[in-house]
Amino acid sequence: MRFIFAVVLAAAALIGAGYAWINLSLDLAEATVDLSVEPGTSVRDIATHATQAGVATNASLLYWWFRFSGQSRLIRAGSYEVTAGTTPRSLLRMLVRGEESLRGVTLVEGWTFRQVQDALRKAENLKPESAGLSPTALMERLGKPGTLPEGRFFPDTYTYSKGSSDLRVLQRALRAMDKQLAAAWEQRTSATPLRAPEQALTLASIVEKETGQSADRALISAVFNNRLRIGMRLQTDPTVIYGMGEAFDGNLRKADLLRDTPWNTYTRDGLPPTPIAMPGKAALLAAVQPAASKALYFVARGDGSSQFSGTLDEHNRAVNKYQRGQ
């Protein structure tokens, strides 16, 4: 009888010690310990990796806790941060829920692909696997051979786990743009002369760059749609600036408007060969849903808004008023 009592007492003490341990804050080698769990890693190896990374506890204890919890098979692969106050219980909960340490990178409407690359290069803990790839090679890696990257990524904030590849971020942004473009194209009106989604993407990029106030977006689209319909050149400065590349010093001169490039819509008819920036959802919709207007011209008022005109005489008067102060 005494033996049985002793066994029960020892078991109770063991259970009590175990309960206390799983709720005790783990000592860490640093303020934050990075723990990476690769797909297919065994539970024992996960426990070992945790201690090797800087979680100061016994790997076997951690392993048996994972096993006895009944949740070891639910542990998810990912990149995790173990911080002060983490207990064996909360560590397991974090691994089971997949509460990864996430970072974020924001791609902004109107950015060029060069600016996207700069943002990815500066993003924290993001592997620059796209660095050194030519535009052609990059799009092949992303499953879009024969497509150039300009304008092909949807502007948004994308989260990622520490150590992720920038190619994964670009893949998500590419798919998002494909989805948004397809949705906009399905909503196009008969008022647009555009004949393909790629044309809509290019026009949307111009609308994005030309819009100072959101209320003007559909009217700006109407101007360009109207010009395309009658065969009038678009004559939009942002395309000229894009075609100049690094030669643009911030000051657009008359000589620049006359210097021919594939993107100079003063010297060439129709849309440029590629988008000139990343359009957002509103610009995509505006490109295919222009306002009901006969306007062919617009000029900046100086407050972010634009003055629209249907004739050249009206436009010249608006230019004199808002640009020349007459």
> What span, in angstroms and rounded, lies between the C-alpha atoms of 228 and 159?
39
Query: 303 with 247, same domain?
Result: yes
Query: 150 with 86, same domain?
Result: no
Check if the beta carbon of residue 252 is closer than 8 Å to that of residue 235: no
Structural domain of residue 109, as residue ranges?
A: 102-181
Spatial CB neighbours of 37, under 8 Å, sequence gap ≥ 6: 46, 49, 75, 76, 77, 78, 79, 80, 95
pLDDT tens, position by position, 229-278: 999 999 999 999 999 999 999 899 999 999 999 999 999 999 999 999 99
Where does a domain end: 138, 163, 181?
Answer: 181
Structure confidence at residue 107 (pLDDT): 97
> What span, in angstroms and rounded, lies between the C-alpha atoms of 279 and 160?
23
Where does a domain end: 148, 181, 214?
Answer: 181
Count of structural domains, the chain? 3
Structure tokens given for 267:
């010297």
Query: 233 with 313, same domain?
Result: yes
> What span, in angstroms and rounded, lies between the C-alpha atoms of 192 and 221?
9
The pTM of this model reads 0.79
- Reported residue count of the chain is 326
Query: 170 with 203, same domain?
Result: no
Structure confidence at residue 11 (pLDDT): 46
> What span, in angstroms and rounded, lies between the C-alpha atoms of 266 and 4?
97
Where does a domain end: 181, 208, 227?
Answer: 181
pLDDT tens, position by position, 99-141: 887 889 999 999 999 999 999 999 998 999 999 899 999 999 9
Query: 221 with 304, same domain?
Result: yes
Query: 18 with 126, same domain?
Result: no
Query: 234 with 286, same domain?
Result: yes
Structure tokens given for 44:
């024992």
Structure confidence at residue 13 (pLDDT): 44
